[in-house]
Chains A and B, each alone.
Chain A
Amino acid sequence: EAQVTQNPRYLITVTGKKLTVTCSQNMNHEYMSWYRQDPGLGLRQIYYSMNVEVTDKGDVPEGYKVSRKEKRNFPLILESPSPNQTSLYFCASSFFGVSYNEQFFGPGTRLTVL
Chain B
Amino acid sequence: QKEVEQNSGPLSVPEGAIASLNCTYSDRGSQSFFWYRQYSGKSPELIMSIYSNGDKEDGRFTAQLNKASQYVSLLIRDSQPSDSATYLCAVDGNQFYFGTGTSLTVIP
Contacts and interface: CB of A to CB of B under 8 A. Distances in A.
Interface residues of A, number: 23
Nearest to A43: B98
Contacts of A74: none
A99 B100 CA distance: 22
Contacts of A75: none
B100 A105 contact: no
A25 to B, nearest CB: 13
Contacts, number: 47
Given A42-B101, A99-B31, A101-B32, A108 B42 contact: yes
Contact of B100 (A33, A35, A40): A40
Contacts of B32: 99-101
B92 A100 contact: yes
B43 A105 contact: yes
Interface stretch (B44-52, B56-64, B71-79): B44-52
A90 B44 contact: yes
B29 to A, nearest CB: 10
Given A90-B43, A100-B32, A106-B43, A43 B88 contact: yes
Contacts of B92: 99-100
Interface in A68-114: 88, 90, 94, 99-108
A80 B76 CA distance: 44
B95 A58 contact: yes
A42 B100 CA distance: 4
Contact of A43 (B8, B42, B44): B44
Nearest to B48: A102
Given A43-B88, A90-B43, A108-B42, A103 B99 contact: no
Interface in A34-56: 35, 40-43, 45, 48
Given A40-B100, A90-B43, A108-B43, A102 B95 contact: no
